[in-house]
Chains A and B, each alone.
Chain A
Amino acid sequence: MLELSGLSLGFGGISVIRDLSLRVAPGERLVILGPNGAGKTSLLRLIAGELRPQQGNIWLHRRDITRDTVPSRARAGIGRGFQQTSLFTGMTLRENLSLACDGDAAAMEQLAARAGLTDLDRPVAKVDYGTARRLDLALALAGNPRLLLLDEPASGIGPGGAVDLHALIAALPRDLTLVVIEHDLDLAFAIADRIAIMDRGRIVFDGAPEAARPALKATYDV
Chain B
Amino acid sequence: MFRLTPIRAAIAALVLAALAGWASFGGYLAREMVAEIAVLAILALALDLVAGFGGMVSLAHGAIMGVGAYGYALANQAGLPPWPAALVGMAAATLTGTAIGAVSARLTGVFFLMATLAFGQMIWALTFRADALGGDNGLGGIARPPLPFLDSGDPLVFALYALVLAAGCLAVCVAVLRSRFGQRFEAVHDNPDRAAALGIAPERIRAQGFAISSMIAGAAGVLAAQHMQFVSPELMVWTASGEVLVVLILGGIGSLSGAVIGAAGFVLLKYWAADWTDHWHLAIGALLIVVVLAGERGLSGLLEGRRDA
Contacts and interface: CB of A to CB of B under 8 A. Distances in A.
B190 A48 contact: no
B191 A87 contact: yes
Given A71-B200, A90-B1, A91-B1, A98 B183 contact: yes
Given A98-B183, A99-B184, A143 B1 contact: no
Contacts of A70: 193, 196-197
B201 A88 contact: no
A88 B196 contact: no
Contacts of A82: 193-194, 197
Nearest to B205: A71
B196 A89 contact: no
B29 interface: no
B193 A143 contact: no
B191 A88 contact: yes
Tell me the dominant secondary structure on chain B's binding face.
helix
B180 interface: yes
Nearest to A79: B197
Contacts of B198: 71, 74, 99-100, 139, 142-143
Contacts of A92: 1
Contacts of A99: 183-184, 187, 198
Given A99-B184, A103-B180, A50 B193 contact: yes
B186 interface: yes
A86 B1 contact: no
Q: Which 10 A-B pairs have the closest CB atoms?
A: A74-B199, A70-B196, A80-B197, A86-B194, A75-B199, A71-B201, A88-B190, A91-B1, A90-B190, A71-B199
6 contacts: A71-B202, A74-B196, A79-B197, A86-B194, A88-B194, A143-B198
Interface of B: 1, 180, 183-184, 186-187, 190-191, 193-202
